[in-house]
Structure 1
Amino acid sequence: MEVIVFLPILFFSIVLHEFAHGLAAYRLGDDTAYLSGRLTLNPLHHIDPIGTLAVPALCWLIGMPLFGWAKPVPINPMRMPSPRRDMGKVAFAGPAVNLLLAVVCVLVMKILLVGQAFFSARALEQLFLFLQYGMFINVFLAVFNLIPIPPLDGGRIVTALLPLQAALKYDGFFGRYGMYVVLALILTGAVKYILLPPTMLVVGAFSKFLM
């Protein structure tokens, strides 16, 4: 039953994550995603066989919290005014949207608590379950994507912030081995030790706000 609730929320969240990347790039002058038909909320345009299907299934099988990613939107940084810096902004847009979605979930829960007299206990329980999943999944996605290893968003952000020569070395190494490192972290389960502490810190802060 939980998987039935989890998967639609996860899928919707990662689609919005990729849409945010494309929209940020578009506003910075790169219309590559728009011209390729990827600046859309249609989920069929964002399905990635590994990130959208295989990784969530693997996480479910090995008992990890479900997470994943959608097919990356095509971006051409050379069409932006400041390619390296602007790519950092584009990279940050995805996790920022996930955090925003988590905040929206928390605010709706707060509103429901204030107006709980207008809802049946059963309806309130179901709504809270859905919103709690939405909050946790989006915080988890944001934290996962902020891991500073390319091709994850955190790696792109680090590359944008480092001095040029350091950025070239950093991106050169992880551009070749980064995906293998990420997959190794997932397959060994080590990724949960990286993700759970900051995730629970943020979720804990949200929980205090709801009290």
Structure 2
Amino acid sequence: MMPVNPYRFRHGKWGRIFVSAAGPLMNLFIAAVVLTILGCIIDPQTATSASNGFNVEIFLLTGGFLNLILFALNMLPVPPLDGSNILANLSNTIAGWYRHPQAQMSGLLLFFLLIWTNMFSVVFTWAQIGAANYAGFIWSLTH
């Protein structure tokens, strides 16, 4: 967690929202850059382990995939993730609820419940399909 002084923001609550959104948006930007590079140099539909660039393909695809997962998980409105800070700055009612000590504990329990019930597989599947489709789209544009 980066230390931030909200009194130095010029735009009040919007400054807090921008700071909270910066991390997830950077993950999305990194994923886009890495997957664009992948789509420009390797056809993701026909690349195999026998191809020369397979290690590069796996590296780039994994980098894009992991950054998409980090983006999705960071945007969950569960304290202390960035999604909860964005939501708290948009709603005073939710901000009041997040200030209670029980909110931190219930957010942690919800996070573990999502892991235990394997609900994160939806996020992983979405990220994997999204990464492959985006790289394939870039390949079709450049070749």
Q: Shorter-chain TM-score category?
A: 0.7 to 0.9
Matched letter for residue 169 of structure 1: G
Matched-pair contact (CA < 8 Å) for 2:35–2:131: no
Matched letter for residue 38 of structure 2: M
Partner of 1:59: none
Provide Cα deviations, 1:131-179, integer angstroms capped at 9, x if missing partner. 01001000001001011112111111111222x3x23334235345323
Count matched residues.
131
Matched-pair contact (CA < 8 Å) for 1:84–1:159: no
Is the aligned partner of 1:143 residue 2:72?
Answer: yes
Provide closer, same or farther for how the CA distance between residues 178 and 76 of structure 1 changes in structure 2, counting only shifts above 3 A: farther
CA RMSD of aligned residues (A): 2.5
The structure 2 residue matched to 1:161, chosen from 60, 67, 90, is 90
Partner of 1:74: 3
Matched letter for residue 65 of structure 2: F
Matched letter for residue 158 of structure 1: L
What TM-score, normalized by structure 1, do the two folds share?
A: 0.53
What TM-score, normalized by structure 2, do the two folds share?
A: 0.75
List alignment gaps of at least 5 residues for structure 2.
44-49
Q: 1:191 offset after TM fit, Å?
A: 4.2
Provide closer, same or farther for how the CA distance between residues 86 and 179 of structure 1 changes in structure 2, counting only shifts above 3 A: farther
Q: 1:110 offset after TM fit, Å?
A: 2.1
Instruction: Look up the SS of the partner of 1:148 in the other structure.
Output: coil
Provide Cα deviations, 1:20-78, integer angstroms capped at 9, x if missing partner. xxxxxxxxxxxxxxxxxxxxxxxxxxxxxxxxxxxxxxxxxxxxxxxxxxxx1112222
Provide closer, same or farther for how the CA distance between residues 207 and 122 of structure 1 changes in structure 2, counting only shifts above 3 A: closer
Matched-pair contact (CA < 8 Å) for 1:136–1:203: yes
Q: 1:113 offset after TM fit, Å?
A: 3.0
Is the aligned partner of 1:206 residue 2:134?
Answer: yes
% identical equivalent positions = 24
Is the aligned partner of 1:185 residue 2:117?
Answer: no
The structure 2 residue matched to 1:195, chosen from 109, 123, 140, is 123
Partner of 1:112: 41
